[in-house]
Amino acid sequence: MDTIPLMPVAADNYKKSITDSAGKKAESSNASRLLILQSMVPLATNLLASQLEAFSTRLADALFKLSDQAVRPEEAKISFEAHQLVKRNSTAFYRLVASQINAALSKEVSVFNTRKRVTRDNPFLDTTAQTYEEMEGKILLRNASQSLEVLNAESLVMLNSLIGRILNRMPIDISQNPFRPEILIKAVHQAWMELDPNPASHLIVLRLLQPDVFLQLTPVLDEINQELMARGIRPGADDNFDSAGGALAYLPAQSLFSLDPYLQDKLKRVFSGQIELPSADGLDGLASGSDTLLNQLDLDHDDSPLDKATVDHQFFANLLEMQKDFAQNDAAAPQFESRLRKVLRAPSADCLSLIQRNTVELLARVFDFIFADPGLRDDVKTMISQLQIPILRVALQDSDFFFRESHPARTLMDILGSSGIILDNEAAQLDPLLGVIGDVIERVQFEFDERIDLFSDVVSDLENYLKDEEIKAQEAISQPVQTALSEEKMRVAREFAEHDVAIRVETGEVAGFLEVFLQEQWIRILTIAHSVKDEKPHALENALKTMDDLIWSLKPKNSADERKELIAKLPAMLTLLNAWLNAIRWDEPDRVLFFSKLAERHAAMARAPLELSPRRQLEIAVNIAQRASNRRLDRFVQEKVAHTDDEATKQVASLERGTWLDFSDENEQVNRYKLAWISPKRTSFIFANRQGYQAFSISAAELEEKYRTGSVSTILANSLVDRALIHALREMAV
């Protein structure tokens, strides 16, 4: 039969997808869908782990502040000892917290499906068989949890809704959410109790786990929500019919039509009979089919009254014949023009109501816009052309087509409109998606009678195909993702290393040649140490201590005891220094020169007089203060330059996985790629084609620069039917 040429493999795959539909529904069972939620545990753990250094610093500062302000000496003593414990054992604390969070979340996800809703206060206020300390602990836990729930209410409500959708339920209660603040507070508190066996500090730390000190949960919850929605889980809507789902889930959409009350009012007046749409091709003379004329005909022909039900039945029968005729002849000679107005020439159309005629005319204007759209490919227009009669029959039966964005027939047209973006432009005729769409069109043409559910079926099949393709695409980019993760890990480690050096240089007490050495060589060492701190925490401690000892060794030694201490520490310090430099293979002549200067400074320090005049001491202090001020100013300026908040920065910050971008090369050739992956810290982006091939990674800074130069642009995929309706209604003179 003459329809869009199909790839045999694609057609077979599509038919197989239909026969396997029962299997696909089985995949949506609670047990298998639970795996989706389990995959969120490592995501949440990694995001929270990335905050542990900052959290540890806030907790240590809060403990120190409490020790300074506490009225009771015992509390001040315990707080100060806890402060010192955190400072001395920060790495061990990180590991304990990360381990407890991962274990707690894994346990919660594994059992939450069987947990019943509980009374809101029961977890905290069960007073049976409790000591005073246990009661106080539960009250503190409740207060901290509620504070964080209020602060993160919007993100938690969204996650509750999505988790409910995973198991086909109503939104779950906060007490059932495995990522709720209560679980995380308990995990952190348990980690502290393992770190500090002194029970006197346990309640003190729990009291401090308030929003200003605790981990920042909003970005973590938002990332989980985005990841779930990227997998096709939608809050409070039918996944199959959601206009933002399916194929459109892979495109950034802007809902325009639903936001314009004026156009909505126009549309309501069209379908209430208050407006009569004139035909655009000279068929106005057929307007005798209005309700007024029907009433007049009934008055003039009492002897042969019109049977409107028979008229409608005959008209729909004629439409069905036209549908079959177009299905057989359209593919051979596609026509990019709306021919819906021609159906009004059929004798059975003479007695259509005003609202029915308005439906035909408005839909004709929608197709006029689609066929005139220069942004749509011809093969897409060909496919859409073959849906004119089926869509008209749907619209005549169900005016919700114009009012409901998630209507299945409307969703199908929107998917076809967006397919011009996601089809492989280099080999469109070989793209299997084109064959699958062709089978969908063929099925609609030959199977659609009056059952609108058919559109739901084909949309579901098409979306399942695209979702399967998305899963395979994610597998295809697994290696580039691992590479990008490693690169980001090193970039983050480098940032930490630069910070470690900067805060020491900013004091103004670091000698000039040593400052150069730290910035050029020791940052490399600290980068390695930060990158392996999870596996080898002592390496970072060792590298930082060696740097601090080196800086200390060049500070003035104004007493005999300090000079003795220097002489005692030098051998071990120099041994560690050389070992680290060997690790980064710094063998250039500059290494010999550095150690020569270092030896000269140490020797000069040993010969310098022990007592300095007040004038000399003042000069040194002023010099140090000036250098510190200059360093801080330089860093402030650099950070301001590095964080330019221009339009390009905002565009990159707003990108979401699934967005399509056009990249222009130096020859002005445009290539279209999908944003397939974003690194956890948004420093790296991976783009690929729809199947996950031709993948490449680009940093956030490089992408921002491409936006500034205009060599990249975001593709916005507004609903095709929305755009057509907006055009048709705005052109309407009322």
- Amino acid identity of residue 67, one-letter, is S
Q: Average the pLDDT over 447-469 and give the result.
A: 85
Cα–Cα dist 130/546, whole Å: 49
Say which residue, 686 or 331, is predicted with more confidence.
Answer: 686
Q: Average the pLDDT over 72-91 and give the result.
A: 89
Q: Residue 112: its pLDDT value, please?
A: 62
Q: Is residue 503 scored above 90 in pLDDT? A: no
Q: Residue 691: its pLDDT value, please?
A: 85
Q: Phi/psi of residue 699, each to 5°?
A: -80, 160
Q: Phi/psi of residue 713, each to 5°?
A: -145, 150
Q: What pTM was estimated for this model as a whole?
A: 0.53
Q: Residue 232: its pLDDT value, please?
A: 75
Sign of CA dihedral 41, 660, 651, 665: positive
Highest mean pLDDT among 116-125, 300-309, 418-427: 418-427
Q: Average the pLDDT over 320-347 and give the result.
A: 70
Percent of the chain with pLDDT over 90: 21
Q: Is residue 313 scored above 80 in pLDDT? A: no
Q: Is residue 382 scored above 70 in pLDDT? A: yes
Helices 40-49 + 30-38 axis angle, to 10:
20
Q: Residue 687: its pLDDT value, please?
A: 93
Q: Residue 654: its pLDDT value, please?
A: 85
- What confidence tier does 174 reach under pLDDT thresholds 50, 70, 90? confident
Q: Phi/psi of residue 133, each to 5°?
A: -65, -40
- What confidence tier does 527 reach under pLDDT thresholds 50, 70, 90? very high
The first and second tokens of residue 356, run together, are 């029915």
The first and second tokens of residue 532, run together, are 């392996």
pLDDT in tens, 184-206: 999 999 999 999 988 889 999 99
Q: Residue 169: its pLDDT value, please?
A: 58
Q: Residue 636: its pLDDT value, please?
A: 60
Q: Which of 456, 444, 448, 471 is nearest to 410 (CA)?
A: 456
Half-sphere exposure of 53 (CA within 13 A, CB side): 11
Sign of CA dihedral 529, 532, 538, 541: positive
Residue 726 in contact with residue 256, Cβ under 8 Å? yes
| 3-class DSSP state of 180 | coil
Q: Is residue 710 scored above 70 in pLDDT? A: yes
The first and second tokens of residue 708, run together, are 């500034």
Cα–Cα dist 196/94, whole Å: 14
- What confidence tier does 15 reach under pLDDT thresholds 50, 70, 90? very low
Q: Residue 398: its pLDDT value, please?
A: 84
- What confidence tier does 638 reach under pLDDT thresholds 50, 70, 90? low
CB count within 10 Å of CB 449 equals: 11
Q: Residue 457: its pLDDT value, please?
A: 87
Cα–Cα dist 505/551, whole Å: 9
Q: Residue 27: its pLDDT value, please?
A: 39
- What confidence tier does 734 reach under pLDDT thresholds 50, 70, 90? low
Cα–Cα dist 335/382, whole Å: 8
Q: Residue 631: its pLDDT value, please?
A: 62
Q: Average the pLDDT over 228-239 and give the result.
A: 67
State the chain's mean pLDDT as an integer: 78
Q: Residue 594: its pLDDT value, please?
A: 92
Per the DSSP assignment, residues forming a β-bridge with 697 are 686
Q: Is residue 241 scored above 80 in pLDDT? A: no
Q: Average the pLDDT over 491-517 and give the result.
A: 86
The first and second tokens of residue 631, run together, are 């360093």
